[in-house]
Structures are given as structure tokens and as C-alpha cells.
Amino acid sequence: MKRRRSIVTSGPRARSPYAGEPRLGLRAPRNRAGGVPGTPGAPETTAGTPAPGRAAGSGPSGYARVPGGAPSPVTGSNGMPVAGPVPGIAGAAVDLSVDLAPKRPGGLVLQNPVLVASGTFGYGIEYGEVVDVQRLGAICCKGTTLKPRAGNPPPRVTETPGGMLNSIGLQNPGVDAVIERYAPLWAGWQVPVLVNVAGESIDDYVGVAQRLDGVPGVAGIELNISCPNVGKGGLQFAVDRDAAAAVTAAVRRATDLPLLVKLSPNVTDIRPIARAIEDAGADAITAINTLSGIAIDRGTGRPLLGNVYGGLSGPAIRPVGLRIVYEVAQVVSIPVVAIGGISTLDDALDYLAAGAIAVQVGTAIFADPEVPLRLVDELRAYCAARGLSSHLPLVGTALPARPGRPSAKGVEYRP
């Protein structure tokens, strides 16, 4: 297989509008002390020095925070001040670019670290008249399988407190149709598109990856391994270390495309699975996929969703996502991309502190499609207010000097 060239998506950045009333579920960005970042009284932290126990430049976690900026607020997504420029650093001078495949020749360089999650943004064209999709860091398209899938029986979606349950069932036209219908459009875009790949066997995954390899417009693959492995009685690839490593290694051999692997939160200890995926050749890890749940139809007393089980997403899963990103970032050296309940700058900052180098916005898009672009603008303003030329010094500041024990060790029940 031939070496692929670098996928770079730099270009002019327009400022997104901050108009309209606050949307349901979106809150004002707050700093750790409860204040608005960049305003008087915001606490300061250690300036520009490596975090304890980590050398500068040692990886995404080898940084510490820098002082808060001068009180020159910029209006944020809900009319609240977010941050403002400080002398020497203008918003336009902040470089938010990030490489999600630094160990792969050519890499996968995005213009900013805000992606849209698979299943929430279609194939990108559906939102073209609503937002400027070219300003996104990347698009993860709908889950794609080797053959067309009709999806699960309805009802497929229901709202829950703090989120939603979905049971779409990977409805899609199949990889050949995706290549024919959408790849030619993606090839003319500035924003890279990552194809989310799913399957029921290793051969399925490999078949999709082989078809995508070398297709203009396909910038990379995000492997959805939260699928039943028919060869192991339906056990999900994502919950078994050996199965997760095997499918990752097989896809790695099948393609030169940058490869991201998406973790399931439905496991006891995520760390050995993450390590196995890295060892098998993944370029980056995305975390997390949805949590398994059900809803009850109180009129019938039976499960509401046609498939009984659905995936829980939205703000309710953010603490779980933070915990898994925090644990994974301690044991792998490849980039971690965070997903789970992100709708505000504060949510994104929490994930960066926990070790993520980029974030994906998902369920929040259904309430307000402009959320991802607002996060780009607000993150740039936040960095400028603190004299940062990049968001990378914010990454990993919450991580310990050495890997700690996993949450599975019963820390909730200390005697």
C-alpha cells in the first residue's frame, strides 16, 4: 500500500454568530472556582511550567495551566462573558490545530480540535445550510457497514432526563453507496471526513476498510467496535481485550488511512483494552460510545424502544466520559479524543484537563447545530485571554504524575 500524504485542513476562519436566546441544556461556561473564565476574580494557576512529574513536551499531559487573562470579556454562546484578549496574543494568533495521527507518516492534522460525532451530523451535507461545516475540525459520518442495513424497528429514540436513548441500529446504505454518493463531495471540502465503520465480524470491518482505502474525500476511519462479534456468540468487540485488539490489527493491516478506535464505556476496567488497541496499531482513541440503557412505556408497562435496548448519550454521561478519558490518557501515548455530554466550553475544558487532545460534540447538535463552531470560537478566545498560542498546554493538567489505580478498585466504598 502506498504512503498517504498529510491531510491538512488549515484555512481562513470566520467568526460564528452569537445571536439568539440561550438554548435548553446549554449553560454558561464556568471556571473551576465557579467564575466566568477571563473575568475579575478568576483564580490563577501555575504559569507555563510542566505538570509535576512530567517533562515539558513529554506528551499531551506534560503541561500545566497558565495565569488567567485580563478582564476583557467576549460574549459567549449564551450572552455571558467568556474570555478576552490579553496583550501580545490576539484571538487570530491562537493556533488550535491538532494532529490525531502523529505516529503515522503524513498524520491527520485538523484546523481545530472540535469534531462532530458519528450519528449526529449525518454525512455533513445535511447541515450545510445551517452551519459552516468547513470550519469544523472534522466530521465523523454515520456508521457505515459492508452491506446496507435497514436499522432497528421503531420506536428508535426517546428523551431521558439529561440526555436521550437511541436505537437506530446502524441504518445506512452500505459502504459502496457511501463512496459513490458522498466521497466525491467530501473530496472538494476543506474539512476532513472520518468514516465511522461497524461490522459483525473482523471480515466485515476489513472489507469496509479495504474499500475506503485510497478513496479521495475519505480522510480516515473511526472504528466502532461496540458491535456484536458473531464469532464469539454476540459478545461486543469493545468489551473483550483480545477481540478489540484483533479487529484493530486486522483493519490496520488493511489500510493506510489514519485509524481511530472508539471505546465502549460498558466495561469494568477500560485500561487493558485501551492499551491493547494502541499496541494493535490504532493512531488515536475516541471515548466514549453510548451507555446501554432501556426506557419503559408506562402505558403498556413494556420496554419503549423497538429493540428494547438503546444507547444513552447527552449531559448525563459526561462524568462517565471524563472518568474513562482520565483513565485511558494515563496508560496510552496516542491521542485521545473525548465524547460524551459536551455542549459548553467548560465541558470541553474538563475533557482537555482529563487528557483529551480534542473533543467531539454529539447530542447537543440536535438542540443547537451551532454548538461545535461556538466552542471553536470560545476556546480560541479562552486561550488568547490567558496568553496561550495553542490549547495544548491545557491538555492533561488533571492527570497524576504516575498512573493511578482504576475506578474498578472500589474507590466509592472505602472503609
Report yes or no on 194 lying in a domain: yes
Please identify which residue in the block is written with the cell numbers 490545530: 97
Q: Are 255 and 221 in contact (CB under 8 A)?
A: yes
Report yes or no on 2 lying in a domain: no
Q: What digits encode the pLDDT tens for the residues 347-389?
A: 999 999 999 999 999 999 999 999 999 999 999 999 999 999 9
Q: How many domains does the chain have?
A: 1
Q: Is the per-residue pLDDT at 161 higher than 80? A: yes
Q: Are 122 and 22 in contact (CB under 8 A)?
A: no
Report yes or no on 46 lying in a domain: no
Report yes or no on 342 lying in a domain: yes
Q: What is the pLDDT of residue 39?
A: 33
Report yes or no on 53 lying in a domain: no
**pTM as predicted:** 0.80
Q: What is the pLDDT of residue 300?
A: 97
Among 23, 21, 80, 16, which Cα is nearest to 367's?
23
Q: What is the pLDDT of residue 61?
A: 35
Q: What is the CATH number of the domain that holds 196?
A: 3.20.20.70
Q: What is the pLDDT of residue 292?
A: 95
Range with lowest mean pLDDT among 48-52, 164-168, 330-334, 336-340: 48-52
Q: What is the mean pLDDT of residues 58-84?
A: 36
* Domain boundaries, position 156: 91-394
Percentage of the chain exceeding pLDDT 90: 70
Report yes or no on 17 lying in a domain: no
In this prediction, residue 195 has a pLDDT band, given cuts at 50, 70 and 90, of very high
Q: What digits encode the pLDDT tens for the residues 263-314?
A: 999 999 999 999 999 999 999 999 999 999 999 999 999 999 999 999 999 9
Report yes or no on 110 lying in a domain: yes
Percentage of the chain exceeding pLDDT 70: 75
| Catalytically annotated residues | 227
Report yes or no on 166 lying in a domain: yes
Cα angle for residues 187, 193, 196 (degrees, 5° grid): 130
Q: Are 114 and 359 in contact (CB under 8 A)?
A: yes
